[in-house]
Each structure stands twice: as C-alpha cells, then as structure tokens.
Structure 1
C-alpha cells in the first residue's frame, strides 16, 4: 500500500511548540495487528500544551519502525473524517525520526473516566447509558467510505471522553487489553439516551435515577453478579431459581433455602431445543444405547438452567427483611444451573463387549422446578435391546467399570453494595423496598420466603429438558442430543 503524502492544507508546527504534559496511553505495536491488518510502530498518546493555544490538546507521538508511514496514514485518515465522535485533527509535527499528530481537546481514557463512578452503581449505570447513546453513531462510522467497515464494534477501537464537551471520541487505533471497552455488549442492557454536552458529574444522581428505568437498573445489577459453583451430594434435589445461604459453595451441605419461586409462576421455554444426538441410538422408550467401547474414558453430562435473576433482584430486600438478614448478603446465592455428570473410567484391559444404556432426560425431573438423579440413570447390558440389565456386581465381574455420579450447581451472588443500591433505587422510584411491590409492578414471579428449617433445595416449576453431551478424555466436548 503506497504511503500517502502529507496533505498541503494541514497545519504543520515546530516540534518545539509541543509541551507534553502527561502520558495517557502506550501501544508498542510489537506483534500487534491493527484493523488495517498491519504491524504498528510504537504509538504514545499524551495530554499536551501547544504554543499559542489556551486549552490543552492531545498529541500522538510515533517512533520506531515505519513510524513516518504510520504517521502519514493517520493524518490522511483523520483529515478525511470529520465527526463529533471521532478524534478531530488540528495539526502535525515532524522532526527527524519523531512524528506527531495533534488533536483538538484534552482526552480522558474511557475506563479512567468511568471509574470515577465506581462508588455508585446508579451513577455507573447512567454513565454507561450516556455513552451507549453516543456509541450509536457507529452507524455513521459504517457509512463513512474512508473506513470501508461492515460492522463497527466499540471493542475494536480505543475510546476516549473529550473533557471540554463530554463527548465520546473514537480513536481508530486498536485498544490494548487494559483499555478495551465493549459498549456493544451493553447495548442489550442500556437504552439510547440523549447525551448532554456536559460531563456527567456526581451531583447529577437525581437525574440518573430519573433517567434509569427499573428494568434497566435491574439488568445493570445482574451484569455485575459474581459467579458461584461447586459440586454437591449426588443425592440432592436441586430447585432452580431458589436462593440459598452459605458462606461458600464449598459448604453447600450446610446451606438452606431462604426463598424459592412460587410453583407454576413461570412458563419456561426449552433453551436447548434443536440440538440433535450425534452418537448413540435412541430407543422407543427414550433410553439411549451406546457401544461399550465407545464410552470408555468418557464423561456424560446432563444440565438445565433458569438464568434470569431479575425476579430475585426485584424483591431480594423483601426476603432479607422477612428473614431479618442484614449483613454478609454476598453469601446468598441465586441458583440458576444444575449439571449431572456420569463418568465412565478407562479400563486398562480394554472394555468388554456390551452396551451402556442411559435414561431419558425427563427422568431427572422430580417436580415443579426440581431435578435430581433418578434411581437408575444408566446400566450395562450384554443384550442389544437392553431388556436384561446387569447388576452392579455382575457388571463388575465381567470387567465393566463402575459408573460414577456427580452433581454440580452454579449460581450468582451480589455484594452488599448492590442490595443497598437496589434499596435506595426502589425507594427513590416510590416503592417500598421491603415489599414485593416492585416485582408485582414489573410482572415478575414472586418468591416465597422459606422457613429456617427448610432443606437444602426446595421444589418449584420447570419445563426445561436437560441435555446430554459426550466428552472423551482426549477430545473436546461433543454433544449427543
């Protein structure tokens, strides 16, 4: 690709007119591929003062291999693009092997700007919504002929906030890992908002509360959950959507249910419909047959989930109030997934001829919302029809390995500060946070508060069908449903 000449109408200033103030970002470019598909030289971004200018500017300095080529390309690119959400070129400078582009405004890295609101989830949510509205200009980026982009993802660019205007400023330099921002992911959570031409300050909390809807704020809270998970007793019955207590899932056996969804309060769709079995033969009775030698050294799993924690967040403080729980709220886990594992060990002497039969997925359902291992999830047989089941003793004497069962539960928990923020937000929206009024207003299913003596997992309602997959020790996961 030919290196473009420096446009004749660009303002070129002496390098000595630039007073670098603070290093903002470094991209060394070693082994880094740009969106242009080329390796980059070292590129450093500074806040700076420029002789004759009263306001601070942003200066990008290029040094190293092909620095001049990179500098000329950036000048040509930013000269051709004029948009309030794109870095605006003011001029350039060049002296020996050092080259610089000068941009209007004093820029702040987006992550650094957003971090000032980490103390308040309400302000953090509003700030991201504010800049999500700005990122909607990606449609303008796609339409720019100079870029030739089909899709514009925020994570592909370096994002800044221009201090003088509060506007989002896009730099077409690919971000380093510590500066990557993905506003695209937040698009599913945050609505478009009309962004004012001033920075969002902490004093605007009332404006933030007024601008954020209940649904939006709950989804923001959901996005900052901590993932939790561990193995539990294979004999346990698991209720999806339930909330359990316990200092950690390592102590799952000591946990109790503090709340569970009311029976028949939700109608769930099968999340995994459409997956087909790739191995194994399904009989008319729903049992699946495998050749014994095909399952040696494998793990077969069956899992189902209810991954929506919005109902819990809308009434968590009601449950805590009813149970008189006031601290260590991060110890309470919303259970969203249960996975049942069947391990077939490898036999050194080789697997004897025969068959493994697995029960239908529906066998795991024990009641509304609840799942557990059936009494007979699998068995060995010498009969291809499976009519004659081998006992555990007979199977072992013939050389078949024992079948090992496990149960894994996954969930989410939230810090005390999230529940404190929910309490304040619900109250500021005119609701009693210690009631279930918010859940009723949003049409969420209601939780039933459990007694102190309730067992580990309670019963509920679910229409989800568990799904099986087969995993060989030397292969990646292979689904067989």
Structure 2
C-alpha cells in the first residue's frame, strides 16, 4: 500500500477498505462439502457399529463355509469359489447389560468382506419373527468384520437332529420340523431350507432362519408334500425338553396327522439303488414284490388284486422331435417325419392298484407279518427290497444310423408312427408277463391308430431304426428305524404287528409270503398256481394267491 507510506495523522478504527489497482477480476469458487454427503443416512446407519473392544466372547458355537451357502450357489454369480468362513460365537456387548447375550458372527478369509456385506444386506432387508434379528456390526481396522445378532439362546436345528440321527431310529423329529415349517409358512418364497441355516428359539419352540452353522448332519428340509398344515396348530408346539423323547414326538404327530399320512411320510424315508437288466432278466423279476439284495429268490406276491394290478407309464421322453401321445389303451405313439433323431427312448413305469401309487405303504403296513412268517430276524430286514417302478430304455441297434437317406426316401410317403406297447402285469389267460421278453415292446406303422404293423422288411427299406431293450430297476429298502416306526403305528391303533389288521383297517391289499414248497408247484415261468388254502391268518374267502415259481438261476 504505497499511498499510505509517508502519510501522517491517519487513524483507522474498526473499519474495512478495499484497494483495487489495475483491472478487477472476480473469481467464483464452488465447493461441494463432503461433510454434507457424509450426513446422508444409509442402511448401515440403521444398526449399531460396535467397537471391537466392547465385544466379549464367551463361547464358540460353530463354523460354516461360505462357499456352501444355498442361496449364493443358486444365484449362479459364483459357484463354490468363495474363500470365506464364518465363526459363530456367543458374546456380550459392553453397555447392553451383563446378562444380555448376542450372536457374534466373525468373517475370515480372502472374501470375508464380500460375504460379510452380503449377509448384512440379506438380514437387514427383513424384520420378521421367523428370522434372526440383526443388532449391529463390527468392521474393525484389522479387516476382520462381524455381524451381531440378538441371541435369544438360539439352538442350531442340525445339532438337535444330530442326536436323533445318532440314535438310528426313525426321524420323527425331522418330520415334526417339516410340519412346523409348513405351520410357520416359512417356505412360501423358498421350497426348502438348508438344515445349517435354521435355529430353534427355545422359549417358544419356533424356528428362525439365521447365519449358517455346520454340523455332520447335512441336508435340506421343507414342508412335506403329503400333508396340509394349518397355520395355527391345534396342539401348539412341542417344548425343547420333549425333543429327546421319541414317544412324545410320535404321539404329537399321530394326533395331528392321519395314520395314512404318517405312514406315507415313513414310506418316503427309503434308500434306493438301481440295477440295469436285459429284458429277459427284468421281465422275470418284475412281477415279484420282495427280494433280498444279492439273492434273487422271490419270496412275496400280492394277493387279492392280481387281475387289477397295472403297470402304467407315468413319464416318457421326447423323441424324433415329437413329444409323444399316450393313447387310451396306454400305448405311446410317436410321429416321425424327416430325419430321425436316433437318441434312445426313455419311459418311466410305476405299479398301480386301482389307480393308487401306494405300494410302499402297502408293504410297510404288513412287513412285520411277512418277516415273522418267513423267520427273518430284525437285523436282516434292511437287506430286503421291493421295486415299485422301473425305466424302459429303447436303444437303436448298431447299423441303424438313421442317415439322411431316410428323409429322401420318405418324401411323398405317408406319416410314420412308432408305437410303444403298454405293459400288462398279468394277461387275460393267466400267464405271467415274463413272455414279454420274447417279443419286441414296440412296432412301426403307417396307421395312426396302430391297427396294422409295418413289416420288418418295410422298416429296413425305409431306414427306420430297430431297438434293443434295457430295463433299469429301482430297488427300495428301509432301515430298521422305519420298520420300528410302523410298529408304533400298529400298537397306537391297538393292532398286533404280526397280523393284517392294520393293513385291512386302511383298505390295503394283502401280501402273502411264499416259502413253503408244498404250497406251490414247479411250473414254467409263464404259469401261475391259484392257491385255495384258507389256513393263513386273516385270509378272506374272495382272495386268490398267485405263486410264481422260484427260478432255478436264483437258487
């Protein structure tokens, strides 16, 4: 300020002045304050951020591998490649009361932060009594994030079921929790839950979905398809103390579910195995009910309904570009046009009686009587199996390449049809269906109704394929726990398991064991014997017993 220099008698008191020298330039600077942006609330602000030093761990509950998360796998964003683990502990938080406990879920591994955020968004998006409620989080500076849930002394469901699993009894408790899931309507958006993600709230006995904790009992659980569940169970819920008492759990189920429904639930607890056979082998096995694994002696046959036993195709594959049509008599027809797709044909068959698919229940309701009459000890029961379904496969034979010549040859010819014949268990003249192995299960025709079969020479000249037949049998077995569960049903109704009373009360057809060589003759495979012996317990006068001959190859 050169103009002030050298001046005298000048005083400036609490005043402002502006000196502009030269040209005046005004500069406007716009500042966006980060502080204002930080003041905007996010979902994280809805929950407390707990300092690491305020968390005191009291005990570890378990761990879980994030790569096994059901929902994450189903999302297909990443398939089992998450490097992160959860460690679930019980903790106290300073300032929340000395008796208040929380569920502390710590994340570790390369993808820990990613899985932590994913779980946070999942549990913060819902506030429901059936879901573990989020309290806060801890994202400390050392990169070990954690979520904190209200604890409520939650018990992992898989820990409870593991006790029942180790007892090797029937899983009535598992059935109870299936029922409970339906009553709580927890599966309206999902068909099932992983056992690892369900927890029991001990005070009310209800279920909650929460962070996954692993156990050696693995699997899924959802409401059983065989029973409808009221949203307000009339008997209330079982207490946690009752879980270890099989009799209490069974009594609850038998009171709230019908006997037939509970029997169906038990029947679904089977183990299965498959065996591929030729048509000749399969047709000789299929009419018989019970087999001992690795010992092909037929020992049981149904009584009282052999004439009405049906073998029905319940599913068939697409072939040659056609979905296939099921005709009134059970024949399946495929219309062939253009180049034939020579992939194999697959058809699924099940045994029916009066339209019912309940052979598993019929067997279980009478198994004690059959095993008792045959002198089979309990420890061997699980070695015996039944078959209620099979798969028929038609495979093009070698040399049937279905080349393009078929398309050229067929131009101008009428439509061609492949017919898969229906399978009858017992024919009208009384012969066992083993004779099916002597003739093809299919034929070709130009007639859409299948009244006129195409000759073999015509088929060959048109380049249409011939097939070989393979049968895949599914054997079903039950462990001793399932049979013991059925025994409890007998006794709960006042029936002797060694009789047919329980089966008759449910309207089931009766099983008649085979084993006394004096009661049947040694006949050809295509023959049967009608036994008129009425000495068997509970045998009705209008029943007939069919005894297939024990095959020499199985003796």
TM-score, length-scaled by structure 2: 0.62
Inter-partner Cα distance in structure 2 for 1:59 and 1:457: 70
- Provide the residue aligned with 1:133 in structure 2: 180
Do the aligned partners of residues 69 and 298 (structure 1) sit closer, same or farther apart at CA in structure 2, a change above 3 Å counting?
closer
Q: CA deviation at 1:59?
A: 0.9
- Structure 1 unaligned blocks of 5 or more: 143-150, 461-481
Do the aligned partners of residues 33 and 314 (structure 1) sit closer, same or farther apart at CA in structure 2, a change above 3 Å counting?
same
> Contact 1:30–1:41 (CA<8 Å) still a contact in 2?
no
The structure that has the greater radius of gyration is 2
Q: CA deviation at 1:432?
A: 0.7
Q: Does 1:330 align with 2:382?
A: yes
Inter-partner Cα distance in structure 1 for 2:316 and 2:68: 44
- Provide the residue aligned with 2:59 in structure 1: 21
- Secondary structure at 1:186 match in 2: coil
> Contact 1:123–1:202 (CA<8 Å) still a contact in 2?
no
- Secondary structure at 1:434 match in 2: coil
Q: CA deviation at 1:73?
A: 7.4
- Secondary structure at 2:146 match in 1: strand
> Contact 1:122–1:208 (CA<8 Å) still a contact in 2?
no
Q: Does 1:305 align with 2:371?
A: no
2:397 to 345, 358, 362: 345
Q: CA deviation at 1:196?
A: 3.4
> Contact 1:158–1:179 (CA<8 Å) still a contact in 2?
no
1:436 to 500, 511, 523: 500
> Contact 2:310–2:424 (CA<8 Å) still a contact in 1?
no
- Provide the residue aligned with 2:248 in structure 1: 206
- Secondary structure at 1:118 match in 2: helix
- Provide the residue aligned with 1:160 in structure 2: 199
Q: Give CA deviations for 1:67-118 in whole Å, capped at 9, x if unaligned.
A: 6687577667656754432213344434212332322234443223212112
Inter-partner Cα distance in structure 2 for 1:112 and 1:404: 51
> Contact 2:369–2:500 (CA<8 Å) still a contact in 1?
yes
Inter-partner Cα distance in structure 2 for 1:390 and 1:134: 58
Q: CA deviation at 1:240?
A: 6.3
- Secondary structure at 1:224 match in 2: coil
Inter-partner Cα distance in structure 1 for 2:102 and 2:240: 18
Q: CA deviation at 1:317?
A: 0.8
What is the correspondence of 1:229-308 to structure 2 with a 5 Å cutoff? 229-235=274-280, 237=283, 242-248=288-294, 254-263=296-305, 272=314, 279=322, 297-306=342-351, 307-308=357-358
Inter-partner Cα distance in structure 2 for 1:379 and 1:265: 24
Which region of structure 1 is more displaced relative to structure 2, 228-237 or 261-270? 261-270
What is the correspondence of 1:318-397 to structure 2 with a 5 Å cutoff? 318-327=369-378, 328-347=380-399, 361-362=421-422, 366-367=426-427, 371-372=433-434, 373=436, 375-377=438-440, 389-390=455-456
Q: Give CA deviations for 1:415-472 in whole Å, capped at 9, x if unaligned.
A: 2332233224422442111111111122222223334457889989xxxxxxxxxxxx
1:450 to 514, 519, 539: 514
- Secondary structure at 1:117 match in 2: helix
Which region of structure 1 is more displaced relative to structure 2, 430-439 or 161-170? 161-170
- Provide the residue aligned with 2:144 in structure 1: 98
- Provide the residue aligned with 1:470 in structure 2: none
Q: Give CA deviations for 1:332-373 in whole Å, capped at 9, x if unaligned.
A: 222211344333223288768689975552365543897452
Inter-partner Cα distance in structure 1 for 2:122 and 2:335: 61
- Provide the residue aligned with 2:22 in structure 1: none
> Contact 2:170–2:482 (CA<8 Å) still a contact in 1?
no
- Secondary structure at 2:242 match in 1: coil
> Contact 1:131–1:168 (CA<8 Å) still a contact in 2?
no
Inter-partner Cα distance in structure 1 for 2:60 and 2:382: 40
Inter-partner Cα distance in structure 1 for 2:324 and 2:73: 49
By relative contact order (CA 8 Å, sep 6+), the higher-ranking structure is: 1
2:130 to 75, 82, 85: 85
